[in-house]
Chain A
Amino acid sequence: MQVPTPDSAESGIPGLHARWEHFPHEADMGVRGFGTSKSHAFEQAAMAMTAIICDPASVKPDQAVSVHCEAPDDELLLADWLNQLIYEMAVRGMIFSRFEVHIDRTRLDGVAWGEAVDVRRHHPAVEIKGATYTALRVACEHGEWVAQTIVDV
């Protein structure tokens, strides 16, 4: 049976105002995270990416994986963060459902929590090939951070 998968969600954490959504692209998918800080927006963009694959609520955050990346600007850092997660998902056969990001200028230290892919439980729809630089944007608007890009599926 097809599991209805959300295409937007609130983080549910009081005071964080963090949320994510998908936005359309003709062949692929857009991921967009919002938050009160850049780090929260990056975390939510990662959540949006998981939601392309499956319902994040179905993924147990049992195992932690550390991710580190460095890039000359915020936008390339976002693409790097998502690409590192794509890499870790591919080589570990995992899906992630909880994220924590710390950004210090050009450096990102993050942790992703998840579990091994279980086709019967997660009903994964599609694997992600890479995070593109198309519609890539990191900005603070009216006190809210947004982090978005198109991912190739």
Chain B
Amino acid sequence: MPIMPLADPGTPDARGPGRYLWWLVVRQPLRVLRGSFFGTVWMVGLTLPPYLTSRAIDDGLRARDTTALLWWTAAIVAVGAANALLGMMRHRTMTFIRLDASFRTVQVVVRHATRLGAALPRRMSTGEVIAVGSTDVNRIAQVLTFVGPGVGSIIAYVVVAVLLLNVSGLLAAIVLIGVPAMVLLVSPLLRRLQRVETEYREQQGILTALAGDVVSGLRVLGGIGGKELFSTRYRQRSAALRDEGYRVGAVASWIQACAVGAPALFLAAVIWLGARTAAAGDITVGELVAVYGYVAMLTTPVYFFIETAYDFTRGLVAARRVTNILDIEPDVTEAPASTPAPTGPADLHDPATGLTVPAGVLTVIAAAEPAEALALADRLARLTDSEATWGGAPLASMPLDELRRRVVVADNDAYLFAGSVRDTLTPPGDHDEESVAEAVHTAVADDVVEALPDGLDTHVGNQVRTLSGGQRQRLRLARAVLTRADVLILIEPTSAVDSHTESVIADRLRDTRAGLTTIVVSTSPLFLAAADLVAHLHDGTADTGDHETLLRTAPAYHALVDRRTGDDQPAEASR
């Protein structure tokens, strides 16, 4: 039995979807061989009961030979038991083969996605990665079924052909051609059924979304009204879906009936022919029963085979999605010739805006366009390559790992991962209780942690959706503070907290980060007033100064940061 997760899932062959699938096969050669073996023996074993039954009838009953009857019956029980075990072994082996394929795929995708980092959201919608986890891995795993029963199907088919040829050439020809033809006839019907149902499910999905929408808007409906309106609207859509369901049912029921009827009709035809042959004395009564059994049995391998072909078409699409992700390369890579990063505090400089961020102090950037500030932050933290320098040397040629450790951007919407709150808060590295408590205190998140049932050990979900926007924001801030990075760039760290809290945060942040370089992107007067240096970012350039001076001298800055309802009030009037 394999053990998942794999310590090392290996380096995938991402040159194409077919190659990727093959890679998944050759990563588990022994298991695949075992799967083929059990798949084949089991499938061939399925042909035996009809044969044995025919012998029991002919040699035992018709020959009135009790001993023969007993022996053939014993053989039926033995073969039945053996097949039951073989079937189980096949199913177990195939399940492990599929599990290996799907989990290995998740592992390589996660390893690659984490290597891509910031490049991933720039290059691909996260929905595609999510689709890999939710549907693609299953489709890929399903393809691997071909190595077991897929192989077994072909061999079983040949075995039945030989057995039938011994009975009657004509019957053999009809069954051997007829069964695949019939399955080929039925399979498109089943696929059509799937399609019809998929369409209906989409409609159903829309109605479900509508119900979910009403539920998530319940507060609005309760506060403003409109329940009757939405109830009526839902009833109308629901009735429309019901009618759509009638239409689907009209088609689907025909398909279902034919899917049952076609094999039954074929069987009846074969029996007719067999009965005539038997009446003419060309085959025995036992053989007639065997033919009946073969036809019934043969649909299993043929179905398997055709389903495998279908699985392949879907599996290739799924594998393509995986290789599309694996093909992406990171945006920022280690420079060939590296310049050492400055050993102590050093100024950062961004030639694009002309901004110089002095070392060891709090700089607050008030940006007219939030996007400009984000781009600036990316340049300073080398999340994109640029001309930016640190201590006079280009960031682009410094060792990447050291940069990531020493220069940290804390996004306003930075992701909070599931786990205990302590895990969520702590970036890699050792953090003692004291420093965690200090960071929580700096972010004024003590009350957030205290309100949790188990404090720091409370388990929370991804993005901690159970907390309010302001509470989450303070957790993010605590995490950022805890990095103790030489350069910490905070994007709108207090946009969702109240003024009281914001002013406390600004003070504590100054204290905690004394001597370290801190950049805050914010238009809040509370933060701007606390800054050592204020940079007003507008039209691609940065004007620097202190809050008071800029308020007096730069009307655009004044308009940006003073958000009283009447924008035309001069700042002096409110003092």
Real binding pair: no
Footprint of B on A, CB under 8 Å? Answer: none
B residues contacting A by CB (< 8 A) are none
